[in-house]
Structure 1
Amino acid sequence: MNDTDQPDDFNHVPPHDLQAEQAVIGSMLLSRHIIDRMLVIVEPEAFYRPTHQVLYATIADLYGRSRSPQIDPITVGEELARTGDLNKVGGSSYLHNLVQAVPTVSHAEKYAEIVRDKALLRAVIETSNRAAARAYAQQDEAAEILDDAMAEFQGAATGTTPLEVKLSVGDRWATFLDELETGKDPRALDTPWHDINEVVELKPGQLITVGAATGGGKSLFGMNLASHVAIRRNRPALVASMEMGGSELMARLTAAEASVDLDRLIRRKLNDHDWAKVIKVSERMQNAHNFILDDSANLTLSKIRARLRWMASHGHPAAIVVADYLQLMSPEGASSGKNRAQEVADISRGLKTMAMEFEIPIVALAQFNRGAVGRQPVVSDFKDSSSIEQDSNVIVLMHTPPKPDPDDPETRHFTDRSGEIDLIVAKNRNGISGRIVTLAFQGHYGRLQSLGREY
C-alpha cells in the first residue's frame, strides 16, 4: 500500500453475528418473560440483517400494546401479514426456524450482548471511515474532524447494560436529597414566562401538549419556548416543524429576538432601524448552533428519533423537543387500514415513549376541532384524537378572549382584552390544574410575553 491509498480494511464485511441475532429473536418468540431484558440491552438498529430489525421491532411493538401480550410465531406472523412485511422477512417458516435456532433461552441475555457489541464495533468502523474520508479530502480542519469523531464515539459508548442502571431507592436517595436541598429538580426546564413557571415544570420524560385553534398562537408558544431553552439557557433544542419552512421559522425567531416587525421580515422589507436591531442580535444567532430547526417533509416519529440521535452524536443531546404540530405528522409505514384518529393516537403515544426514552420533555403542539371556535376550549377539543389527553402529562389550552360587541347581548359587557391570550393549564399531573395564566400576545413580533415583564 502506498502513502495515498486507503487500507483494504475499509472493504471488509462489517462485524455481525447472524446466529446470535437469530437466537435473540427466537428466544423472544419462545418466552415473553425475557423480552423486557432484551429491550434494555439492544434496539432494532443493533441488528445487522434488516429482516431481523423488522422482526425485533414488531415483537417489541406487540409486547408493548397489551398488559398480557401473546408472543409466538403465529401471533407475530399475523401481525407481519397485517403490515405487509411477512413475505419480506422470509414468511412464517422463517419464524419457526428462528425458534429452532435457539440453543437455550436461559442464555438470551448473552446473545443480546453479542448483537449489541457487534453493533458497537460497526459504529466504531463507520465513525472511523467518515473521519478518514474527511481527512483524505482535506476539506476540514484536523481539530474539527477529531471533535466530530470523538462526539460520535461518545454517542456510541452511552449504551448501558442492566447491571449499570441505578433503579433502587438506595441508588436514588442521595440525588433526591440534593434536589430537596437546592429547592428544585435540576433536570427540569423553565419557560420564558414567569407566570407559567409558577404552575408548570418541564421535566424529563414528560409529554406536554399545547392546543390552540388555527392561528391561535401555538407556533409562537413553541418557538418562544425553544429559543428560550437554546439561546437563554444554552441547552440544545429541536423544533420539528411540519407547519412552516425553515425560512419562516427564522423570520419568527428573528422577530422575537430583535423586536422587528414580523411582516417586514417575511416580506424582506426592512428599514434602517430594523437592520440596526437585526445586527444587534446577529452574534447571538450565529452562535446558536445547538438550536436545530428541522423542517423536513413528512416528519415521522422515526425521523425525529433519528434527528435526536444525530444531535447526541454531534455532542449536543437535545434538552427539549417541540413538535409543530401533532396532527400534521405522518404515520409510520403503511396506514394498515387505520383511520386518522387511530394514527394520531399512535403518534401521541409514540411521542410520550420518545420523551421517556431520551429523558427529555417533548412539547407537542396540537390543533382544536372547529367546534372549539368562539368559546373557552376543553381537553376534548383536540382534532382527530381523544388519546392526546391520556398520553399527556401536561395540557395547556390557548384561548383568545372574545372582544366586546355592543350589538351582542352576550358580549357587550365583556372587558376589552385586545392583545391578551389565556393559557389554561387543563391537566398537570405533578402540579396544579385549572389555573389560567394570561400573557400578552405580540403577534407582530412573533412572541408571547408575561404581562408586566420585558421579553
Structure 2
Amino acid sequence: MNKNTETFYNANIERGILSALVYDAQLIDMIEEEITSELFYIPFHKKVYETICNLQENDKPVSEEFIIVDLKKINSFDEEVFLEILSATPISNINGYIKELRELYARRELHHLSLNIKLEVAKQNSSDDIISNIESSLLSITHERKQQNFFCLNEIFNDVNKHIELMQSKKDSLIGIDTGFTALNAYTSGFNSGDLIILAARPSMGKTSLAINMMLQTSSFGNGVALLSLEMPKDQIALRMLSVVSGIPLATIRGGKMTIEQQKEIANIQKKLTNLSIHIDDSPNLTLQKIKSKVKKLILKNPDTKLVIIDYLQLIDSNSTKDRHLQISEISRGLKLLARELGISVMALSQLNRSLEGRADKRPMLSDLRESGAIEQDADLIMFIYREDVYKKQEEKQKESELRKKGIDFQSNFKEDLISRAELIIGKQRNGPIGTIELEFVKPNTSFREKNQPQTKVFEFQLA
C-alpha cells in the first residue's frame, strides 16, 4: 500500500473497534446502526465485522472461538491479522473511533471519486454523464454519513412545543403548504412535509388539470413547486397555465385566435408567472432513481421547493425484472421515503382500474388504485376526482352508436355544460378526516375552482 492510500485509513482505528466488539458483545447493539462493513478499509476487517454481526443476529456467542470457526467456514481466516485485532490497545471511547472511521471512509470515497472523474474525462465521455455520475456518488456518500437514532421524549417534546408555538403565532390553521382550495385546506390543514399524496382518477377526469391548479396556487403563496411530467410536454403545460390564470379559453390561446387585448393580458401574465418558483421537467422514461436525483439536485439549487408533483405514477420506469405490481410497490415506497428524507410533499398522480366503470356508482374507492395495494399503504393522503358528466357523455355516445347500428335514427340531446360539478373525494388521510369536497370544472380552461366561486376568472392570481 502506498503512502497516499494510507492517509485514507487507519488500521489501529479499525483494530480498536473490532477488538472492543470481541471483548464486549453488548457494544454491538449500540453501534450496529452506526457503521457497516463498507466503512472498514482492510478486507479481513470487513469480514470480521460481518461475522460478528451475523453471530449476534443468530444469538450465538460473539467470542474468539466462534469468530474463527465462522471465518474458516468461508475460507477467510487470517491468523496473523486476527491476532493483531485481539492484541489491540483497549479503547474507552468507541464513539470517537466510529466518528473517525466514518470520516476516513468519506475521504477515501471522495479520493476514489476524484480518480474516477479523471478516468471519465480521459475516456471523453459526455460532460452531462460525468456530472450526473459525480452528483449520484456525492449523494451516496452523504447518505452514508447520515444516521438517525432513537430520540428521548424530552427532545421530542421540545420539537412539539416549537411546533405548537409556531401554530399559535400563525393567523390561519394551516400546518402545511396552502393547497389553494379553502375546503381542502379545512380537511387537510395543507399539504404536510414528508407526506406522499396520491391524486387518482380515470382518464379524462382532470388529474393533470387539478395538479396544475394546485401548482399555480401553491407557488403563488411563495412556495417552490416542481412538476415532473412523464406524459404531457412542457409547452402544453405552459399553455394550460396561461389559460387558467387568464381565464381565456385554452383553444383560443392554442389556436392563436386572441384579440389584441388578450395578447397583452397573456404577455402580462407571463411576466408574473416567471416570478414564481415553478420548475418543470418533461423527460419521459424516468426511473425512480432518476427522479430522486433530479429532485435532490433541484432542491440544492432551489431550497424553497416544498411540493413535487409527478404525472403520473404508472409511467415511472423500473430497471427491475419483478412483476409490475411489485415494481409499483417499490416506486411508491421510494417516493414516500424521498418525501421524508427531503422534508417536502410529494404528489403522485395515479390511474385507476377500469373495473370501476362496471359499477352502478362509479365513484372511486381505495380498492380501485391501479396495480398495487402498496400505494394505499404508503400514501398519507389519497384523493380521487369524480365527474358525473364524463360518464353521462360516454353513455349518450354509446347509446347513439348502438341505436344507429340497429338502423334507428337517434340524435342525443345531451349538452355539455361549460362549468360542471366535480367531486374531490378524500379516500384516505393518515392524520385527518375523509370526506367529499364539491368543486367546479371549467371546461374552456380545463381548470378546477371552488364551488360557486364569485370571481369571473378561475384563478385569482396572488402576486401583484
CA 1:281 to 1:382, structure 2 compared with 1: closer, same or farther past 3 Å?
same
**Shift of residue 306, structure 1, vs aligned partner:** 1.6
**Shift of residue 451, structure 1, vs aligned partner:** 1.2
1:196 paired residue among 184, 190, 212: 184
1:226 paired residue among 196, 200, 215: 215
**Shift of residue 441, structure 1, vs aligned partner:** 0.6
**Shift of residue 313, structure 1, vs aligned partner:** 2.4
1:205 aligns with 2:189: no
Equivalent-residue separation in structure 1 for 2:375 and 2:228 (angstroms): 18
Aligned position for 1:175: 162
Equivalent-residue separation in structure 1 for 2:110 and 2:304 (angstroms): 19
Equivalent-residue separation in structure 2 for 1:15 and 1:188 (angstroms): 49
Unmatched tracts of structure 1, length 5 or more? 1-12, 60-67, 71-92, 125-151, 409-415
2:340 paired residue among 345, 356, 373: 356
1:217 paired residue among 184, 206, 214: 206
Question: After superposition, what is the alpha-carbon deviation per residue over 1:191-246, rounded to whole angstroms, capped at 9, x for unaligned?
Answer: 1111111111311111111110011111111111112222x112111111112111
SS of 2:271's equivalent in the other structure is helix
**Shift of residue 340, structure 1, vs aligned partner:** 0.7
Equivalent-residue separation in structure 1 for 2:260 and 2:76 (angstroms): 69
Contact 1:166 1:172 in 2 (8 A): no
Contact 2:351 2:369 in 1 (8 A): yes
CA 1:307 to 1:32, structure 2 compared with 1: closer, same or farther past 3 Å?
farther
Question: After superposition, what is the alpha-carbon deviation per residue over 1:67-108, rounded to whole angstroms, capped at 9, x for unaligned?
Answer: x999xxxxxxxxxxxxxxxxxxxxxx99999xx999799544
2:311 paired residue among 319, 324, 328: 324
Aligned residues: 357
Q: Amino acid of the residue matched to residue 204 of structure 1?
A: S
**Shift of residue 287, structure 1, vs aligned partner:** 2.0
Equivalent-residue separation in structure 1 for 2:225 and 2:238 (angstroms): 15
What are the equivalent positions in structure 2 for 1:28-177 lying under 5 Å apart? 34=31, 36-38=33-35, 107-116=97-106, 168-177=155-164
Aligned position for 2:234: 246
Question: After superposition, what is the alpha-carbon deviation per residue over 1:309-353, rounded to whole angstroms, capped at 9, x for unaligned?
Answer: 22232243420111111111112x342xx1111111111111111
Q: Amino acid of the residue matched to residue 242 of structure 1?
A: L
Question: Which has the higher Rg, Structure 1 or Structure 2?
Answer: 2
CA 1:274 to 1:166, structure 2 compared with 1: closer, same or farther past 3 Å?
farther
Equivalent-residue separation in structure 2 for 1:121 and 1:166 (angstroms): 37
Q: Amino acid of the residue matched to residue 360 of structure 1?
A: I
Aligned position for 1:128: none
What are the equivalent positions in structure 2 for 1:375-414 lying under 5 Å apart? 375-402=362-389, 403=392
Question: After superposition, what is the alpha-carbon deviation per residue over 1:158-197, rounded to whole angstroms, capped at 9, x for unaligned?
Answer: x87769x998234314303313423667751111111111
Contact 2:439 2:448 in 1 (8 A): yes
1:451 aligns with 2:439: no
1:278 aligns with 2:275: no
Contact 1:15 1:118 in 2 (8 A): no
**Shift of residue 264, structure 1, vs aligned partner:** 3.3
Aligned position for 2:436: 436
Equivalent-residue separation in structure 2 for 1:161 and 1:236 (angstroms): 27
**Shift of residue 253, structure 1, vs aligned partner:** 1.4
CA 1:166 to 1:306, structure 2 compared with 1: closer, same or farther past 3 Å?
farther
What are the equivalent positions in structure 2 for 1:309-348 lying under 5 Å apart? 309-331=296-318, 333-335=319-321, 338-348=322-332
Equivalent-residue separation in structure 2 for 1:191 and 1:262 (angstroms): 23
Contact 1:38 1:109 in 2 (8 A): no
Contact 1:37 1:109 in 2 (8 A): no
Task: State the percentage of identical aligned residues.
Answer: 21
Q: TM-score, normalized by length of structure 1?
A: 0.65
Equivalent-residue separation in structure 1 for 2:238 and 2:249 (angstroms): 13
What are the equivalent positions in structure 2 for 1:300-315 lying under 5 Å apart? 300-315=287-302
**Shift of residue 113, structure 1, vs aligned partner:** 3.3
Contact 1:213 1:372 in 2 (8 A): no
SS of 2:289's equivalent in the other structure is helix
**Shift of residue 267, structure 1, vs aligned partner:** 4.2
CA 1:341 to 1:194, structure 2 compared with 1: closer, same or farther past 3 Å?
same
Equivalent-residue separation in structure 2 for 1:284 and 1:122 (angstroms): 46
Equivalent-residue separation in structure 2 for 1:448 and 1:15 (angstroms): 63
SS of 1:199's equivalent in the other structure is helix
Aligned position for 1:261: 249
Equivalent-residue separation in structure 1 for 2:306 and 2:113 (angstroms): 24
Unmatched tracts of structure 2, length 5 or more? 19-24, 51-55, 59-73, 115-137, 400-416, 460-464
Contact 1:15 1:119 in 2 (8 A): no
Which range moves more in the overlay, 113-122 or 439-448? 113-122
Equivalent-residue separation in structure 2 for 1:226 and 1:298 (angstroms): 22
Contact 1:255 1:265 in 2 (8 A): yes
CA 1:304 to 1:198, structure 2 compared with 1: closer, same or farther past 3 Å?
same
2:275 paired residue among 273, 287, 290: 287
Equivalent-residue separation in structure 2 for 1:197 and 1:161 (angstroms): 34
CA 1:365 to 1:69, structure 2 compared with 1: closer, same or farther past 3 Å?
farther
Equivalent-residue separation in structure 1 for 2:107 and 2:323 (angstroms): 40
Q: What's the Cα RMSD here?
A: 4.8
Contact 1:393 1:428 in 2 (8 A): yes
Q: Amino acid of the residue matched to residue 228 of structure 1?
A: Q
Contact 1:214 1:367 in 2 (8 A): yes
Contact 1:238 1:291 in 2 (8 A): yes
**Shift of residue 359, structure 1, vs aligned partner:** 0.9
SS of 1:228's equivalent in the other structure is helix
Question: After superposition, what is the alpha-carbon deviation per residue over 1:291-324, rounded to whole angstroms, capped at 9, x for unaligned?
Answer: 1101112122222222222223224342011111
Equivalent-residue separation in structure 2 for 1:166 and 1:280 (angstroms): 54
Equivalent-residue separation in structure 2 for 1:312 and 1:178 (angstroms): 27
Which range moves more in the overlay, 339-348 or 264-273? 264-273
**Shift of residue 395, structure 1, vs aligned partner:** 0.7
Q: TM-score, normalized by length of structure 2?
A: 0.64
**Shift of residue 440, structure 1, vs aligned partner:** 0.9
Q: Amino acid of the residue matched to residue 380 of structure 2?
A: N
